[in-house]
Chains A and B, each alone.
Chain A
């Protein structure tokens, strides 16, 4: 009843092809963006910015990066954290060694370096398919963390490879406060998601999905496998690199290579599994889940009588609950939260009718 499509017809192909075809969706998105950019800075407090919203946004972006490669292009990867690390350390070095470099440019360059590294470790995808490709990205994961720790040049000769955030400012506006960092992150993430959405709906996105579904047929149709796969690695690497820079500088403040280890790669993989492979919205949903789940769980435990479960056990229980949820998701809704949302929307379009 409220979510009716009646009276909304596309008269031109461009209208039909729009990202949000329904007027209600467009209003909804505009309201959400308005709320995020204008209202939240006033309503939120420092804890929300620093501990919930910023990691949520950054992890969504990281999820999108991996989703482009694994969900859309079908190239399985466990090296996401390594590419994030490259982005973070490259951005740091650009800021350090190129004085006066604008922050956004440094991050873009950092992303660019990550893209190149991703392409390097993505080259084997031309010969190796499917599951075996894991080896290449795992090699990237271990090699990058080793190299960043071993060669202290990357971290300006600090003892254990630790780097810390540069001053965050754009055109003189200081962004170091929690609100400032939130707005910076939000702007970058929204911008890159817009780019990502365009890519996914474009010819390249379709080519990725073609390569994912059946690459021999894709080649027969004239799709250049080499270019398509390598672009997937490059663009994914870029997104992950920028996410890594944001993670290091707007969320943590200081980071060492160890913070981008295999567990982080798994975390991002879980985000896209739970959120939905091959989905844009899914990245947000998955990231929200990953960020909020531990918080929810510890709040739940706090409700129980004190001393019933000690702190160490909570971690173990969290691990178990997490694993169980992954399995449940894979069994019940393999297409993730995004698909659940889609089903909900489809019901809403027809409500109060059933079908």
Chain B
């Protein structure tokens, strides 16, 4: 029984990591209505920049700031080159544009910093912590705390600040937001920059876990089931979705794996998300789109 809980908690904590990436998606979707497939590439780029700077002897916090600046510059470039020309297009067109964008960012990241795997040390001990008879990874706990702080900060941003109000207005109706004088471009740059920041944090945590390498950008593929379950427009949904996916993935791997065969975690989250969609087409917390005829 304890083993079950250990697996479960391990899965939940892994889920927190998924949620971190998913939050980046939710931010951009909330403000620009586009599912940003390039989020994974952004995670990779930010982590790669950070780690390469570290390796060149740049101190930790300076490297962090520089990486963050790079993400802001990226946000400006994306807004200029992709979002502005494609304003008003269908969501599928925007999605495909982010697909192209992910190729550009990936290629650029590797052209700039090379394609080797980099290890990343965040200074967190690898020793497992014993809690109530279960072994929990300190690192996972650290990640969970980070995620919680991030979510707190973001909710404060969205709900308590004037900028946050603008963000929510733009998410609801860009044209109406323009009509009341909200600077659409500024909002978009801000949102993509914040998403870049979230991506950087996620990249650092994932990178410390898996090493900073190309496959980091594939983590985006896990984010989709998370968003399906949690809804595309809710940060808390992203957390809950992440937890559900993380936990079920681990449990399936441990308990179903020996029966069906290894490697289930590749498709299991998707099938789970699919079943979820059939029952709740808008996700747990998502908004139901009402079609008026």
Q: B: which residues have CB within 8 A of A?
A: 35, 81-82, 85-86, 89, 91-93, 95-97, 99-108, 110-111, 115, 221, 224-225, 228, 260-264, 266-267, 270-271, 273-274, 277-278, 281, 291, 293
Task: Please measure, in the bound complex, the distance between the C-alpha atom of A145 and the C-alpha atom of B221, giving whole angstroms.
Answer: 15
Can you sample 30 A-B contacts with CB below 8 Å? A124-B274, A128-B278, A129-B281, A130-B92, A132-B277, A135-B273, A135-B274, A139-B267, A139-B274, A143-B267, A150-B260, A150-B263, A273-B96, A317-B111, A319-B104, A320-B108, A322-B100, A322-B107, A323-B102, A323-B103, A323-B105, A324-B100, A324-B104, A325-B100, A326-B103, A327-B100, A327-B104, A330-B96, A330-B97, A331-B85
Chain B hits for A322, CB < 8 A = 100, 103, 107
Chain B hits for A217, CB < 8 A = 293
Chain A hits for B264, CB < 8 A = 146
Chain B hits for A313, CB < 8 A = 111
Cβ contacts A314-343/B at 8 Å (1 or 0 each): 001111101111110011001000000000
Task: Please measure, in the bound complex, the distance between the C-alpha atom of A318 and the C-alpha atom of B105, giving whole angstroms.
Answer: 12
Residue of B35, B92, B99 near A326 (CB, 8 A) is B99
Chain A hits for B103, CB < 8 A = 319-320, 322-323, 326
Known: A150-B260, A326-B96, A326-B97; 8 extra A-B contacts, CB below 8 A, are: A124-B278, A135-B224, A138-B221, A138-B224, A146-B267, A151-B261, A319-B106, A330-B93
Q: Take A146-B267, A269-B96, A326-B97 as given contacts and tell me if A312 and B115 are in contact as well, using a CB distance cutoff of 8 Å.
A: yes
Task: Please measure, in the bound complex, the distance between the C-alpha atom of A149 and the C-alpha atom of B110, giving whole angstroms.
Answer: 30
Q: Take A135-B225, A142-B266, A143-B271 as given contacts and tell me if A330 and B107 are in contact as well, using a CB distance cutoff of 8 Å.
A: no
Residue of A nearest to B110 (CB): A316
Residue of B nearest to A327 (CB): B100
Cβ contacts A127-168/B at 8 Å (1 or 0 each): 111111011101100110110011100000000000000000
Chain B hits for A134, CB < 8 A = 224
A216 within 8 A of B: yes
Residue of A76, A130, A331 near B86 (CB, 8 A) is A331
Chain A hits for B225, CB < 8 A = 135
Task: Please measure, in the bound complex, the distance between the C-alpha atom of A146 and the C-alpha atom of B100, giving whole angstroms.
Answer: 26
Task: Please measure, in the bound complex, the distance between the C-alpha atom of A322 and the C-alpha atom of B102, giving whole angstroms.
Answer: 10
Residue of B91, B101, B266 near A323 (CB, 8 A) is B101
Chain A hits for B263, CB < 8 A = 146, 149-150
- Tell whether, in the assembled complex, residue A334 and residue B93 are in contact, meaning their CB atoms are under 8 Å apart: yes
Q: Take A143-B267, A216-B291, A330-B100 as given contacts and tell me if A128 and B277 are in contact as well, using a CB distance cutoff of 8 Å.
A: yes
Chain B hits for A35, CB < 8 A = none
Task: Please measure, in the bound complex, the distance between the C-alpha atom of A221 and the C-alpha atom of B88, giving whole angstroms.
Answer: 29
Chain A hits for B93, CB < 8 A = 330, 334
**Most chain B CB inside 10 Å of its own CB: which residue of A127, A134, A312, A323:** A323
Residue of B104, B270, B281 near A138 (CB, 8 A) is B270
What's the minimum C-beta distance from A28 to chain B, rounded to whole angstroms? 32
- Tell whether, in the assembled complex, residue A124 and residue B277 are in contact, meaning their CB atoms are under 8 Å apart: yes
Residue of B111, B228, B262, B291 near A132 (CB, 8 A) is B228
- Tell whether, in the assembled complex, residue B104 and residue A131 are in contact, meaning their CB atoms are under 8 Å apart: no
- Tell whether, in the assembled complex, residue A131 and residue B91 are in contact, meaning their CB atoms are under 8 Å apart: yes
A20 within 8 A of B: no
- Tell whether, in the assembled complex, residue A135 and residue B270 are in contact, meaning their CB atoms are under 8 Å apart: yes
- Tell whether, in the assembled complex, residue B278 and residue A323 are in contact, meaning their CB atoms are under 8 Å apart: no
Task: Please measure, in the bound complex, the distance between the C-alpha atom of A131 and the C-alpha atom of B35, giving whole angstroms.
Answer: 9
Residue of B nearest to A220 (CB): B293
A266 within 8 A of B: yes
Chain B hits for A324, CB < 8 A = 100, 104
Task: Please measure, in the bound complex, the distance between the C-alpha atom of A149 and the C-alpha atom of B267, giving whole angstroms.
Answer: 13
Residue of B nearest to A262 (CB): B221
Task: Please measure, in the bound complex, the distance between the C-alpha atom of A347 and the C-alpha atom of B50, giving whole angstroms.
Answer: 53
Cβ contacts A245-286/B at 8 Å (1 or 0 each): 000000000000000001000100100010000000000000
Chain A hits for B291, CB < 8 A = 216
Chain B hits for A330, CB < 8 A = 86, 89, 93, 96-97, 100
Q: Take A131-B95, A269-B96, A317-B111 as given contacts and tell me if A327 and B101 are in contact as well, using a CB distance cutoff of 8 Å.
A: yes
Chain A hits for B86, CB < 8 A = 330-331
Task: Please measure, in the bound complex, the distance between the C-alpha atom of A326 and the C-alpha atom of B86, giving whole angstroms.
Answer: 12
What's the minimum C-beta distance from B227 to chain A, rounded to whole angstroms? 9
Residue of B nearest to A328 (CB): B100
Task: Please measure, in the bound complex, the distance between the C-alpha atom of A66 and the C-alpha atom of B138, giving whole angstroms.
Answer: 47
Task: Please measure, in the bound complex, the distance between the C-alpha atom of A312 and the C-alpha atom of B114, giving whole angstroms.
Answer: 9
Task: Please measure, in the bound complex, the distance between the C-alpha atom of A238 and the C-alpha atom of B51, giving whole angstroms.
Answer: 47
Residue of A132, A143, A327 near B281 (CB, 8 A) is A132
Task: Please measure, in the bound complex, the distance between the C-alpha atom of A323 and the C-alpha atom of B107, giving whole angstroms.
Answer: 9
